[in-house]
Amino acid sequence: MKIPVIIDCDPGTDDTIALTMALASDHLDVKAITTVAGNQTAEKTAVNGLKIVSFLDKQVPVARGAENPIMRPLVTAGHVHGETGMAHVVLPEPKIDYLETKAWDLFYELSVIKNEKIHLITLGPLSNVAIALMKYPKLKDGISQITMMGGAVGYGNDTPAAEYNIYADPEAAKMVFESGIPITMVGLDCTHQAWLSAAEINAMGSPTEKNGIWLAQEMMHHIHAFATRFGFEGAIMHDPSAIAAVIDPTLIQTKDYFVTVETKGEHTTGKTVVDTLRVTGREPNAQVALEINREGFVELVKELMKRYESGGFRC
Amino acid sequence: MKKPIIMDCDPGHDDALALLLAFASDELDVKAVTTVGGNQTSDKTLNNAMRVLSYAGITDVPVAPGASHPLIRELQIAPEVHGESGLEGPELPEPSFASFGKSAIELMEKVIMSSEEKITLVPTGPLTNIATLLLTIPESKDRIERISLMGGSAVGGNWTPAAEFNILVDPEAADLVFQSGIPITMCGLDVTHKAQIYDDEIEAIRSQGGKVSVMVAELLDFFAKFHKKLGFEGSPLHDPCAVAWLIKPELFTSKHLHVDIETKGEFTSGATVVDYRGVTGKDPNTDVVYDLERKAFIQLLMDSFKKYD
């Protein structure tokens, strides 16, 4: 049976790859894609979401969410994802428009109202989820699990202590960790192990037309160039790791820990504070991914990309 | 020539070992010992330092009491680890000499400002005394060669999820020290959790037979009980790392990085924020020690304790 999911994202170069994977998977029933301000502004991530769904020719509704973090000004990651959020890639104008329903209302409608348990996958700042939890206390009953790309046990990336998605909206992240919904945290400890070499990226396929493989490869090459400049072995697949963890949970190894988020630090705001030595006495609230089977991950991405081999169009 | 140092400590089981290691070394010349409230209250840590030195026959080095509480916070102590006295385990007689008549800061000032060679400070407790020295005797800064300290951690903590005990107890003091511009060697949990001593090695120390070796083994018996309860296989010898790094730096590996101290966090106060990836653009201020050759480190300790026989 397919897992009903909603993907909340801020495309975003690696978000794009993640969406390409999710929309090709037989294991996932993507009920909706919701966008949030993060890697780029709310307007840009929404348009990018529409363009990606349109380009891949999928019938999945897209809804917009928060324009800003819940209590702070927006900090985008334009230096990583480019001016449009899509690096150098230019996709055709979308054939669809976003829903009038806001992201948080859609979460509630598709889960509690439709009486279906939804697995929520978050690839950006957690503003939409926090707003949904504040507006609909009953949402907890509709979300079976949240798998998030975000946080780190060890070092951060946006600051020494904090990973970008949590750093961008720490108050929202704290609300989500405190919500009681089962959480799988796919943070940097895990995603930094999920890299693709240039050869592995090329081996995804040799599209002669612009299709899903082409789109993913362009983003992978962009990330490869960026990441290797910073000393990483290959293209780091942050958001795709979270998708992979939902499609095949055996790819990741997790430990149950209590996690909260620092919102008041001078140097540590946005840090996911993970009680690895269990000194707080608090019950674990998250499965924290510490390892990913890199070979298995690469195989999964390859397999999903194959689905795009027939089809595609010129643009 | 021997490197002149001041030991600033809060004994404490591992502080006691650090003191014995420093005094046994041919590389180090311990000019003074100062104590601070930390593992136990300041009256107890002073008494403990003097009892250990008296027991080992070291009675000619000045020992002075320092801060009884952190700069602006309440003192936290660690009786869970070190017991009621701060040095539970062996029977140690009362000190056989009197403490230096003045405060730790006055003693440090005297030693530092009268020394021809720059002095290396070795703090193995909260950094209250060192920060007080820098605040009250600013000219001492240029006379300090380096600070080789036990404290902090690049990843994770031990007293809270984010903070190591020594830094947690007085984060404001740590902040002043790390911002001082003085070269710092940080032996944090990253290395000290790898510097564990195991039961068979404690037995090997005991069987060296000398009264200091036997006393050390009894300290370690007590220390091991706490760590076994936490699920450690051995006991991390935190404080001796800061001394051993000065004696045999080749046993350790480190990275030169920028470190900030979190003083305002809700869950992270006392965290040493290590800029491992260089994302802050700030210049490195600390040699962050990550690893050591454990067996050679244990051997160094064993050989040092044997020298007291």
Q: How do the domains of chain A map onto residue ranges? A: 3-306
Strand partners for B30: B5
Question: Which of A160, A279, A280 is nearest residue B276 as measured by Cβ atoms?
Answer: A160
Number of domains in chain B: 1
**pLDDT category of residue B1 using cuts at 50, 70 and 90:** confident
Cis peptide before B12 (omega within 30 of 0): yes
Q: What is the mean pLDDT of residues B259-279?
A: 97
- Considering only CB atoms, which chain B residues are within 8 Å of A262? 162, 265-268
Q: How far is CA A3 from CA A17, A19, A117, in A?
A: 19, 15, 9
Whether A185 and chain B come into contact, CB under 8 Å, resolves to no
Q: What is the mean pLDDT of residues B215-238?
A: 96
- Would the CB atoms of A262 and B154 count as touching at under 8 Å? no
* Strand B184-187 with A195-196, pairing: unpaired
| CA gap B48, B5 in Å, rounded | 20
pLDDT in tens, chain A (315 residues): 899 999 999 999 999 999 999 999 999 999 999 999 999 999 999 999 999 999 999 999 999 999 999 999 999 999 999 999 999 999 999 999 999 999 999 999 999 999 999 999 999 999 999 999 999 999 999 999 999 999 999 999 999 999 999 999 999 999 999 999 999 999 999 999 999 999 999 999 999 899 999 999 999 999 999 999 989 999 999 999 999 999 999 999 999 999 999 999 999 999 999 999 999 999 999 999 999 999 999 999 999 999 998 765 443
CATH code of the domain in which B13 resides: 3.90.245.10
Whether A282 and chain B come into contact, CB under 8 Å, resolves to no
Q: Hey, how many other C-beta atoms are within 10 angstroms of the C-beta on B163?
A: 30
| CA gap A81, A92 in Å, rounded | 18
**A3-306 under CATH 3.90.245.10, yes or no:** yes
ipTM rounded to 2 decimals: 0.85
- Would the CB atoms of B273 and A263 count as touching at under 8 Å? no
Q: Residue B259 sits in which domain range? A: 3-306
* Strand A118-122 with A143-149, pairing: parallel
Go through A215-252 and write b for each residue having 16 or more CB atoms within 10 A of its CB, e for each that does not: bbbbbbbbbbebbbeeeeebbbbbbbbbbbbbbbeebb
| CA gap A89, A82 in Å, rounded | 10
For B189, residues 6+ apart whose C-beta sits below 8 A from its C-beta are B152, B153, B156, B157, B158, B164, B236, B238
Q: What is the pLDDT of residue A314?
A: 41
Nearest CA in chain B to A232: B277
- Would the CB atoms of B156 and A263 count as touching at under 8 Å? no
**pLDDT category of residue B24 using cuts at 50, 70 and 90:** very high
Give me A22's structure tokens: 């999710």
Cis peptide before A12 (omega within 30 of 0): yes
Instruction: Return the active site residues of A.
Output: 238
Model pLDDT for residues A226-264, shown as the tens digit of each residue? 999 989 999 999 999 999 999 999 999 999 999 999 999
- Name residues 240-259 of chain B within 8 A of A (Cβ): 258
Whether B286 and chain A come into contact, CB under 8 Å, resolves to no
Give me B240's structure tokens: 């001796």
